[in-house]
Amino acid sequence: MSEQALKAEKLDGADELAAKRAEFVLDDGVYLDGNSLGALPVAVPGRVEDVVRRQWGELRIRSWTEGGWWTAPERIGDRIAPLVGAAAGQVVVGDSTSVNVFKALVGAVRLARSAGAGRDEIVVDATTFPTDGYIAHSAARMTGCTLRPVPPSEVPGALGDRTAAVLLNHVDYRTGRLHDLPSLTAAVHAAGALVVWDLCHSAGALPVGLDGHGVDLAVGCTYKYLNGGPGSPAFLYVREALQDRFDSPLPGWNSHAEPFGMRPEYEPAAGAVRGRVGTPDILSMLALEAALEVWDGVSVDAVRAKSLALTDFFLECVEAYLPEGRVECVTPRAHAERGSQVALRCPDAGEVMGRLIARGVVGDFRRPDVLRFGFTPLYVAFADVERAARVLAEELA
Ligand X SMILES: Cc1ncc(COP(=O)(O)O)c(C=O)c1O
Chain residues binding ligand X by CB under 6 A are: 96-98, 129, 131-132, 169, 173, 198, 200-201, 221, 234
Provide the minimum distance between the beta carbon of 338 and ligand X in the complex, in angstroms, as a whole number: 16
SS3 assignment, position 245: coil
Q: In terms of CB distance, is 90 or 100 closer to ligand X?
A: 100
Provide the minimum distance between the beta carbon of 197 and ligand X in the complex, in angstroms, as a whole number: 10
SS3 assignment, position 364: strand
Which are the contacts of 156, defined by CB distance < 8 A and separation ≥ 6?
A: 183, 184, 187
Please identify every residue annotated as catalytic: 129, 198, 223-224, 372
Q: Are 102 and 252 in contact (CB under 8 A)?
A: no
Provide the minimum distance between the beta carbon of 103 and ligand X in the complex, in angstroms, as a whole number: 12
Provide the minimum distance between the beta carbon of 36 and ligand X in the complex, in angstroms, as a whole number: 7
- Backbone phi and psi for residue 147, each to the nearest 5 degrees, phi listed first: -100, 130
* Bond before 347 cis per omega within 30 degrees: no
Q: How far, in Å, CA of 77 to CA of 88, rounded?
A: 8
- Burial annotation 6-44 (CB, 10 A radius, 16+ → b, else e): ebbeebbeebebbebbebbebeeebbbbbbbbbbbbbbb
Q: How far, in Å, CA of 195 to CA of 202, rounded?
A: 16
Q: How far, in Å, CA of 289 to CA of 69, rounded?
A: 11
Provide the minimum distance between the beta carbon of 145 and ligand X in the complex, in angstroms, as a whole number: 20
Q: In terms of CB distance, is 317 or 342 closer to ligand X?
A: 342
Q: Are 129 and 175 in contact (CB under 8 A)?
A: no
Which are the contacts of 56, defined by CB distance < 8 A and separation ≥ 6?
A: 63
Provide the minimum distance between the beta carbon of 223 and ligand X in the complex, in angstroms, as a whole number: 7
Q: CA–CA distance from 89 to each of 10, 94, 128 (Å)?
A: 42, 15, 28
Q: In terms of CB distance, is 121 or 198 closer to ligand X?
A: 198
Q: Identity (one letter) of the amino acid at 245? A: R
Q: In terms of CB distance, is 103 or 201 closer to ligand X?
A: 201
Q: Where are the beta strands (DSSP E) in 151-250?
A: 163-169, 194-198, 217-220, 235-238
Provide the minimum distance between the beta carbon of 340 and ligand X in the complex, in angstroms, as a whole number: 13
Provide the minimum distance between the beta carbon of 322 and ligand X in the complex, in angstroms, as a whole number: 27
Instruction: Tell me how far apart the 2 most distant CA atoms of the chain are, in Å.
Output: 72
Q: In terms of CB distance, is 24 or 223 closer to ligand X?
A: 223
Q: In terms of CB distance, is 17 or 32 closer to ligand X?
A: 32
Closest-CA residue to 176 (of 329, 361, 309): 329
Q: How far, in Å, CA of 44 to CA of 47, rounded?
A: 5
Q: Are 123 and 159 in contact (CB under 8 A)?
A: yes
Q: In terms of CB distance, is 198 or 386 closer to ligand X?
A: 198
